[in-house]
Structure 1
Amino acid sequence: MNDTAHTPISTTDDRFGDVSVHLAGQESLVVEGEQIPRVTLDRTPGSEREDHIAIGTRDPEQLTMTIDGRQVKLDPAKGKLSRRSYRVDVEHEGTAYRLVPDSIPSSRLTRDGIHVGDFSSDGDGRVIAEWREDAEVEPLDASVGYALAAAFGTGAQPMWMMAIDAVSTALP
């Protein structure tokens, strides 16, 4: 990770004002802002890490996520061939969130199955959120969306492109 990963990155969200994303290496992530709940995501110290994942792992056993200090259920999928395999699910007080890639650069955030916004991030702490005009977006939506996008990145190639890459890599 580069040095900017240790400096909080601030962005101005269209609905929620200033949002700060602080990614401390691949160890921890904090998302906060004046109008949104604070979210932390920590990787177990000493656990195996993968360089291409900002938080270092997709293993739910090695990750702890809290919202305003209360632990939530975090379940990132393994990330294999399909875009859906890169989804990340969060459950908080009976509300189900899912961030799932829907194009090469971005991912869709749903709350209880309703599409509330789209996120883009390269995994360097910089996150862009675009909220759906027809959705009632809540402050917690922003907290969860920014945290998941920053920690796991967004977007994925379609399965057919991944298959072509796999075949071309296997050929001499």
Structure 2
Amino acid sequence: MSALPGLVPEEPTVAYDPDTGTVTVHGEGLPAVVLRRTGGRADDHTPVGTRDAARLALTLDGGAAGLTLPKGRLSRRSYRVDVRCDGGAYRLIPDSLATSRLLRDGRRLGSLTCDGDGRVTADWREGAKVLPLDVSLGYALAAGFGTGAQPMWVTAIDIGTDLLSP
């Protein structure tokens, strides 16, 4: 994690349990964020086990937050995760094969990377005013949904190849 002088004294602790579909993020000076799957069978493609917002609960220091997720189809944009909380709008959206960018109210805060194993790294944008909530929420979303996605043209080639294969 790149340094955030004066805002975040230590790297967040991320507890990830794929069996229960739970991600918990906490740390000194950070609000606790919990993302958990609330029911149903887990899918194999999403670390938390689903992209169905009706089967997920997101809490920030015990208070509920609104979560919106498209299904995740061909485009990178379809893998975005939107959260409304504390009067702000957050978005985690893939921007390369491995990373996703975190935005607050449309402003880029930084890039996060997670391979779906619960270990998150962050590269905060120089000059961005990154708040403790931004850190906790970014880590929770990255751990719960993974980061990065293939460009649409690669996905289309993969689908075409699959259709042509015997």
TM bin, normalised by shorter chain, reads over 0.9
Matched, 1:31 2:25: yes
Equivalent position to 2:125, from 123, 132, 143? 132
- The DSSP-based 3-state class of the residue aligned with 1:146 is helix
Number of corresponding residues: 160
Q: Distance in 2 between matches of 1:97 and 1:34?
A: 22
Q: Does the 8 A contact of 1:26 with 1:43 survive in 2?
A: no
- Alignment-derived partner of residue 3 in structure 2: 14
- Alignment-derived partner of residue 76 in structure 1: 69
Q: Which has the higher contact order (CA 8 A, sep 6+)?
A: 2
| Counterpart residue identity of residue 53, structure 1 | T
The list of structure 1 runs, each at least 4 consecutive aligned residues, that deviate by more than 3 angstroms after superposition, is none
- TM-score, normalization by structure 2: 0.93
Q: Does the 8 A contact of 2:2 with 2:124 survive in 1?
A: no
Q: Distance in 2 between matches of 1:73 and 1:36?
A: 19
Identity %: 51
- Alignment-derived partner of residue 84 in structure 2: 91
User: Which sections of structure 2, spanning at least 5 residues, go unmatched?
Assistant: none
Equivalent position to 1:141, from 118, 131, 134? 134
Shift of 1:48: 2.2
Q: Does the 8 A contact of 1:97 with 1:109 survive in 2?
A: yes
- State the Cα deviation string for residues 100-141 of structure 1 (Å, max 9, x = none): 000000000000000001000001000000000021111111
Q: Distance in 1 between matches of 2:30 and 2:87?
A: 19
- State the Cα deviation string for residues 56-90 of structure 1 (Å, max 9, x = none): 00000000000000000011221100000000000
| Counterpart residue identity of residue 32, structure 1 | H
| Counterpart residue identity of residue 36, structure 1 | L
Shift of 1:13: 5.9
- Alignment-derived partner of residue 43 in structure 1: 37
Q: Distance in 1 between matches of 2:16 and 2:38?
A: 15
| Counterpart residue identity of residue 32, structure 2 | R
- The DSSP-based 3-state class of the residue aligned with 1:78 is coil
Q: What's the C-alpha RMSD, in Å, of the aligned pairs?
A: 1.2
| Counterpart residue identity of residue 38, structure 1 | A
- State the Cα deviation string for residues 135-159 of structure 1 (Å, max 9, x = none): 1111111011000000000000100
Shift of 1:24: 1.6
Q: Distance in 2 between matches of 1:13 and 1:43?
A: 30
- Alignment-derived partner of residue 4 in structure 1: none
Shift of 1:44: 1.1
- TM-score, normalization by structure 1: 0.89
